[in-house]
A and B are shown apart, each in its own frame.
Chain A
Amino acid sequence: MNRIEDILKTSRMVLNAWKNTIGIYLGIAIFLSAYIVFSIRPFINMGNTTHSGITLPNIIFIFILGITGFYEEFSVAGSMNINRRVYFTAHTFSLFIVVIFLSIVDMFSSHLLELLSGVSFYHTAELIFQIRPDDLIILPFIAAIYLFAATSGWLIRMLYYRANKLQKMLLSLSPVILLFLLRLLDFGFISEQLRHTDIIPGFFVYLLNDLNILMSSILFFSIVLVNLFLCYLLIRRAPVA
Chain B
Amino acid sequence: MFFPQDNEKPIYLQLASAVEDDILSGIFKEDEQIISTTELSIALRINPATANKAINLLVDQGLLYKKRGLGMFVTPGASDKILSRRKELFKDDFVLPLLKEARKISLPAEQIIEIIMKEGCIDESD
**A–B contact (CB under 8 angstroms):** no
B binding-site residues for A, Cβ under 8 Å: none
A binding-site residues for B, Cβ under 8 Å: none
